[in-house]
A and B are shown apart, each in its own frame.
Chain A
Amino acid sequence: MSSSSHNSKGKVSFGNLIRLPETGSFIGFVVVYIFFAILGGAVFVGAPGWSSWLNIAAEVGIIALPVGLLMISGEFDISVGSIVPASSMTVAMLSGHYDLPATVGILGGLSVGVSIGFVNGILVTRTTIPSLIVTIGVMFAVMGLTLGFAVLLKGSTSVSYVPNPTAKFLLGQFINYMFSVAIFWWFAFVAFFYYVLHISPIGNWIYAVGGDRESARNAGIPTSKVTIGLFMASGFCAAFVGVAQVMTYQQAQVAGGQSFIFNSIMCVVIGGVLLTGGAGSIIGILLGTMTFAVVNQGVFFAALDPNTGSIIVGALLLIAVVSNDSFRKFAISAASKKT
């Protein structure tokens, strides 16, 4: 009875299946994959194709997970775009420039992310400023700090670092010269966030905060702690991607990382998370990220102009939001009819 998990009554009907929030994202993924499989041919369906889009998906996906949770709780995090270069710069500075052990560098990079997340969370919960504005401000500040310190300490905007074999093996290795080890980390993060959102009580708190913050607080949920914790999680994940990048490319740049801001939001939205908070799932975010990555890399295999990729992503985004909208109306109307 493996399928019974979908339905508490142990009965799977077509109607229930189609009303699952992830169905739309799944159909989207299948359609997009088939489209590029036909155009891209055997190379795209084979190992080279899978590795190329999975590598992209892993990087964006690790950030998209906590960003999705934040969006479910009704908040935004723009600052991830500056945390990625900030943390990889920290690693390269500590372990590359100052020759400290790799562990110190990695811990330094990750704690930069966690602290920035903490600042975001405190600012969002203690003031009435919307999180979009707070994190834009923090993004500018972190960008300035990264650039300023890099030039001040190193005198250049890029720092190289050759990691030791263990660190390289754990965070920056390519398996079979193709599959980045970040893919496995991504799956681990998916499992962890799945547990947090769908199994642990914290998940219910997150949905409740996104649904109605005031009622959630009145029901005894520590709303401020939930929000601060989520911002710290997104800071941590963005920093993790930064660390993995410096291990992979053996170099840290002050620029870059900006693309993660909108890309992570797009993955989450294609995955069916409501921007207004209160709805969404980890499986949806996973599927959204995979769809995004397939389009992103598929255009190269399909020999299309790479720029058509962003037209397709834009169209997908619109289809996703419009269909999620109607899916949800349909599901809610069906549910209210039953009672």
Chain B
Amino acid sequence: MEQIKSLFYRPSAAAVVALLSVTVFYIFAGVEFSKLMGAASWVNYAARIGIVALPVCLLMVSGEIDISIGAMIPAGAMTTAIISGHFELPMIFGIIGALSVGVIVGVINGILAIRTNVPTLIITLATLVGMQGVVLAGSKLLTGSASVPLTAPDWAKTLFGQLMFGGNHQVIIIWWVVLAFVFWFFLHMSKYGNWIFAMGGDKESARNAGIPVNRMTVLLFVLTSSSAAFVGMCHAILFNSAQVSGGMNDIFNIIVSVVVGGVLLTGGFGTVFGVFVGTLTFAVVNKGIDFTAIDRNWANLIIGAMLLIAVAMNESFRAFALRASVGKKGATPEPTPEKAT
């Protein structure tokens, strides 16, 4: 009993409950469970937003937010396609180019975040709009069109843009799972994870405790924008072309996935596992509706309701867990290993 209870104290509890209830709801709405499990559309979608949601989770735990990701996905795709498609340079230059665009924008975001008192929502709103303009105007200037074709060599296709098992599952699903493990290790097993939680709790105290807050902030911004550029690059390789549009909806979708996964917008709280489940939940809601008898047009209503309910659940589970740990006098609420000292 005690163990079942303590499961609900975990930050990802609400996300798991949300995923289960959404699936059950869809089964009642007429979807065949085996058909949903076998379908690729929602897993592909989960991988697309999930790869970006992972670093956004870390960033949000540290108390910041990045919405420039919405421009970085098409930016990564366009950079790859312009370098390797339009100028016909070797594929490797396209890949390096896309990732370095991500790194550059991340460094700009990070430097602005640590040098000014401006909230990161506004800083990244500025880079979002700016990058959209740069990508659009740049591709018009260099190629004369807003859509660039790209033929990738076999090795790049295998690594980034293949459909697996002869079916419709994209290879980025594997990237997503691997990256989830990497980020899980980074946030929950390494000392850097403790730093990130400390920054989200109280930046000033974290700095005074000797944590390199500024360097970590820049690093986290670099991770988010290069992950977004990576997703764009994979899509350009998979679909053999890149478009400048798209990506704006991803901003809200990614934030929703992260928040449903139990990350606190104000920082200091969240888990990688929760975000993984939150992303799955969002993808099931968004793409699973096609398998039900419900009209696709109501999908957004379900997403909105799910977000509000999941967040409300997160809040009450958290309050519940905190109360429980206060009640147990003397017991440490969280086993936080002191590796740093």
Contact = CB atoms under 8 A, between A and B. Distances in A.
B137 interface: yes
Contact of B301 (A141, A150, A310): A141
A322 interface: yes
A140 B116 contact: no
B255 interface: yes
Interface residues of B, number: 44
Contacts of A311: 129-130, 133-134, 137
Contacts of A141: 300-301, 303-305, 308
B315 A128 contact: yes
B123 interface: yes
Given A265-B125, A310-B129, A127 B118 contact: no
Given A128-B315, A266-B129, A305-B137, A137 B307 contact: yes
A83 interface: no
Contacts of A138: 304, 308
A133 B307 CA distance: 8
B297 A314 contact: no
Contact of B137 (A130, A147, A262, A308): A308
A133 B265 contact: yes
Interface in A250-265: 258, 262, 265
A314 B133 CA distance: 8
Contacts of A307: 132-133, 136-137, 140
A194 B71 CA distance: 35
Given A265-B125, A321-B123, A148 B312 contact: no
B122 A321 contact: yes
B238 interface: no
Contact of A276 (B119, B133, B300): B119
Interface in A72-122: 78
B121 interface: yes
A221 interface: no
A314 B256 contact: no
Contacts of B312: 127, 129
A127 B225 CA distance: 32
Contact of B300 (A147, A312, A321): A147
A130 B265 contact: yes
A78 B308 CA distance: 14
A152 B301 CA distance: 14
B131 A314 contact: yes
Nearest to B248: A258
Interface string B258-280: 01000001100000000000000
Interface in A120-153: 123, 127-130, 132-134, 136-145, 147-148, 150-152
B300 A275 contact: no
A151 B294 CA distance: 13
Most buried by B among A133, A148, A308, A314: A314
A118 to B, nearest CB: 15
Contact of B311 (A133, A308, A310, A322): A133
B311 A129 contact: yes
B92 interface: no
Given A136-B252, A147-B297, A148-B301, A275 B311 contact: no
B297 A148 contact: yes
Given A144-B297, A314-B128, A315-B130, A139 B304 contact: yes
B311 A137 contact: yes
Interface in B82-100: none
Contacts of B299: 144
B129 A313 contact: yes
Interface string A136-176: 11111111110110111000000000000000000000000
A317 B133 contact: no
B303 A140 contact: yes
Contacts of A151: 295, 297
A312 B126 CA distance: 10
B298 A144 contact: yes
B126 A262 contact: no
Interface in B308-341: 308, 311-312, 315
A305 B259 CA distance: 38
B125 A143 contact: no
B133 A130 contact: no
B127 interface: yes
Interface in B102-148: 112, 116-119, 121-123, 125-134, 136-137, 140-141
28 contacts: A78-B252, A133-B265, A133-B311, A137-B256, A139-B252, A139-B304, A140-B256, A140-B300, A140-B304, A141-B303, A141-B304, A142-B304, A144-B297, A144-B299, A144-B301, A151-B297, A265-B122, A265-B125, A307-B132, A307-B136, A308-B137, A311-B129, A311-B134, A314-B128, A314-B131, A317-B122, A318-B112, A322-B112
Nearest first, the 9 closest Cβ-Cβ pairs linking A and B are A314-B130, A144-B301, A141-B304, A140-B304, A144-B300, A310-B133, A311-B133, A307-B136, A317-B126
Interface of B: 112, 116-119, 121-123, 125-134, 136-137, 140-141, 248, 252, 255-256, 259, 265-266, 295, 297-305, 307-308, 311-312, 315
Interface of A: 78, 123, 127-130, 132-134, 136-145, 147-148, 150-152, 258, 262, 265-266, 269, 275-276, 305, 307-315, 317-318, 321-322, 325
Given A133-B311, A148-B301, A318-B126, 7 more contacts: A78-B252, A129-B311, A136-B304, A151-B295, A308-B133, A315-B130, A321-B122
